Structure 1
Amino acid sequence: MAIDMGWPGVDGLGDVVRVLGEWQHDGGPVQVHPGDVGWFWRFGAERTAQATRTWSRAGDVLAVGLLDGADLLRLAFAPEALRDEELARQVAEDVSAPERGVLLEGKVYIEAPAGALVQDLLLRGGWESGEPWTPLRRDLGAPVPDPGVRVEAIGPEQAHEWAAVLRASFDGSTFTDERWHAMAAGVPYTGARCLVVRNEQGEAVAAVAVWPAGEGRPGLIEPMGVHRAHRGHGYGRAITAAAARALQEVGSSSVVVCTPSSNVGAVATYQSAGLERLPEKRDLYRDAP
């Protein structure tokens, strides 16, 4: 049967989140997670729907794409479809042809899970290897040590504090209270938590969002930041440990995160909190004339 590419629309986003959750398992590659959709939801449901693509056969969704910006498509595949040739060829055709409305002209990027056949097809079709990324994972089968700091779960009344820490953690961030409320209203936020670490003066100095994918499945950290005025005190390690404990409490099997390999500080912070580096993966890019 033919592979069909579609746009789920706002009403279909719940199904997309559900299948992405079902595709997460500890033996599989780190790929687009329900939490990635949840974090994107800060822009609102309509924009999230516009950024989402699905590839289906006979009504069964086999691949999902999330346009994380105008020039980056992040892909996830059903575990049994990673090497499905018909699916891989259709996805490769759709992402390589600007008229299909997935990626436009110019320099564009694809992030696909390790081992996906679509990577091989794109490389053969002229795409090139790009930036290396480092996935990290920590098993949650054993107790996670107490982070040793004051950790607080953030609700709507404290959204401004979480937003302020995030803005102070990433250069150029435009995150606002309104975006927190939009994110928290999204389908993927069910079971998710936003946490802050407070210093001895009660100031929020680090922030994280944690996203479960269901009991017995990997949970995601996205994003995690430490206020630039409070770095060097171990708050990144502490908030990461707090995130792992929060995911463990809701039954996640492990905690995963992925960061550019060039961000050596972030990689070191995650490792200091007990996450283990997995083999690097590279995105693919095409620089059209």
Structure 2
Amino acid sequence: MSVFDEAVRALREWQHDDQPFQLHPGDLGWYRRFGAKSAEDAVRVWRADGEIVAVGLLDGADLLRFTIAPERRQDAELAARLADDVCTPERGVLPSGTVYVESPRGTRFQELMFARGWQSDVPWTPLRLDLGAQLLDPDVSIDVIGHDQADVHAGVIRASFEKSTFTEERWHAMAVGSPYAEARSLVALERGVAVAAIVVWSAGPGRPGLIEPMGVHRDHRGKGFGTAITIAGAAALRELGSSSAIVCTPSSNAGAVATYRAAGFTALPEVHDQRRDQYC
């Protein structure tokens, strides 16, 4: 089994509704769009007694998205080991210069990073929807996308984000990765035209599922299609057995926060990445 697939398996086991927002197997699944080698190279794992106790995803050159096994989050020895690795550019986890770490709030690791001079960065808003409750009606036609319609889904995502590089080829690369076995790609249609798209990722029955990404085509905004595709995505996660749907968006993106609220999501307390401008 590859390190990437080992990390996905560990992350699935660590997802629980009573845990703070954290790295999800769907995050690795979405990164898989860059191909198997790039995904493998971006994953970092830490082990103790042969078991994975922490997983990181180097999401770009300067951001480590990171989580720790729930039972080890107050382990001072592990926190020191992780902080040493993250803070030392020579160890190859993060480069020198300004860098960022996303990790669950309330861990010994996060406390230690603050003590070493890391600072809070801009706020993000996590949102959650209990899938045991009644869902709203999307009130729009929804297609589940397979390999033969990858270009449609990729085209909407690309038209939803200014700097998106998502293509049909990258959709296929994503869809052959192990996380996609428990994922769905959907598009919303208006008079046969694809106007919004979403990918949802299950972590297994009874565990929270992730939305990553959701977008509305730039030519079709302001008509409720973001809310509609989000509701459809939540319904797909419920069919996959997920207990809840979760998503995290920059707090500055008021439109996205409003869209998720309109779909029935509840905003949770804001979270912050940690930033280092100088060496620890």
Q: Does the pair score TM above 0.5?
A: yes
1:120 corresponds, among 111, 115, 121, to 111
1:238-277 alignment, distance < 5 Å = 238-277=228-267
> Deviation of residue 117 (structure 1)?
1.3
CA contact (8 A) 2:136 2:263 kept: no
Correspondence for 2:17: 26
Correspondence for 2:200: 210
Correspondence for 2:53: 62
CA deviations 1:125-144 (Å, max 9, x no partner) are: 01111011110000011231
CA distance in 1, matches of 2:59, 2:219: 29
The SS at the match of 1:190 is helix
CA distance in 1, matches of 2:59, 2:217: 24
CA deviations 1:163-202 (Å, max 9, x no partner) are: 1101110011111110000000101000210000000x21
Q: Which moved more, 1:145-154 or 1:181-190?
A: 145-154
Correspondence for 1:285: 275
Residues 1:159 and 2:159 are matched in the alignment: no
The SS at the match of 2:55 is strand
State the TM-score, normalized to the length of structure 2.
0.98
Correspondence for 2:182: 191
RMSD after superposition: 1.0
Q: Which moved more, 1:109-118 or 1:178-187?
A: 109-118
CA contact (8 A) 2:3 2:43 kept: no
2:246 aligned partner, one-letter code: V
2:166 corresponds, among 161, 165, 175, to 175
**Post-superposition, which runs of at least 4 consecutive aligned residues in structure 1 deviate over 2 A?**
none
Correspondence for 1:93: 84
1:144 aligned partner, one-letter code: L
2:248 aligned partner, one-letter code: C
Structure 2 gaps, min length 5: none
Q: Which moved more, 1:181-190 or 1:80-89?
A: 80-89
Correspondence for 1:232: 222
CA distance in 1, matches of 2:48, 2:213: 33
> Deviation of residue 44 (structure 1)?
0.8
> Deviation of residue 118 (structure 1)?
1.1
In the alignment of these two chains, the number of paired residues is 279
> Deviation of residue 18 (structure 1)?
0.9
